[in-house]
Amino acid sequence: MLNLKFFFSPLFALFTSIVIAFAALIQSTGFYRNNLREKSEIYLNSTVGLWILVCSISYLLGIIVYEAIWNSRKNRYISSQNLAIQAENSKKFTKLLLIFTLLINLFAIYQLVAYFGLYGFYMTLLGNGSEDLRLAVYRALKAVNTGWAIAFTVPVVCISYVTVKKTKDRHVGFLLFFLLVIHIVLILSTQSKGPIATIATSIMICELLINYPKVKINFKKFVVGLFLAIVLAFSLLIIQSRRNPEILTYQGIYNELVSYTLVSYNRLSYVMNGDLEIPNNGIGFWTNRWYWGLPGDTIVPNLFDIKPQYDAFSAWLETFNKVDNAKLDERYIWITIYGEVYVDYGYFGFMWFVIYGLFSQMLYRHISRGNLSVYAIYPFAMQCNFGWYSGAAIGTRATLLCVIIAVYITVSNKIHQRKEMI
User: Is it the case that residue 75 has pLDDT exceeding 90?
Assistant: no
Residue 78 confidence (pLDDT): 47
- What does the pLDDT average to over 24-36? 80
For 301-316, how does the pLDDT look when each residue is reduced to its tens digit (9 = 90+)? 777 777 788 877 888 8
For 159-201, how does the pLDDT look when each residue is reduced to its tens digit (9 = 90+)? 999 999 888 889 999 999 999 999 988 888 877 777 888 888 8
Residue 204 confidence (pLDDT): 86
User: Is it the case that residue 414 has pLDDT exceeding 70?
Assistant: yes
Q: Which of 81-90, 350-359, 364-373 has the lowest mean pLDDT?
A: 81-90
More confident residue, 57 or 131: 57
Please tell me the distance from the alpha carbon of residue 319 to that of residue 393, in angstroms, as a whole number. 16
Q: Per-domain residue ranges for the chain? A: 5-421
Residue 218 confidence (pLDDT): 67
More confident residue, 421 or 182: 182
Residue 268 confidence (pLDDT): 93
User: Is it the case that residue 351 has pLDDT exceeding 80?
Assistant: yes
- What does the pLDDT average to over 277-302? 82
More confident residue, 341 or 247: 341
Residue 191 confidence (pLDDT): 72
Residue 85 confidence (pLDDT): 79
Residue 384 confidence (pLDDT): 92
Q: Which of 93-97, 175-179, 223-227, 404-408 has the lowest mean pLDDT?
A: 223-227
More confident residue, 39 or 305: 39
- What does the pLDDT average to over 356-385? 89
Beta bridge partners of 3: 216
pTM to 2 decimal places: 0.86
Q: Which of 13-17, 137-141, 417-421 has the lowest mean pLDDT?
A: 417-421
More confident residue, 240 or 395: 395
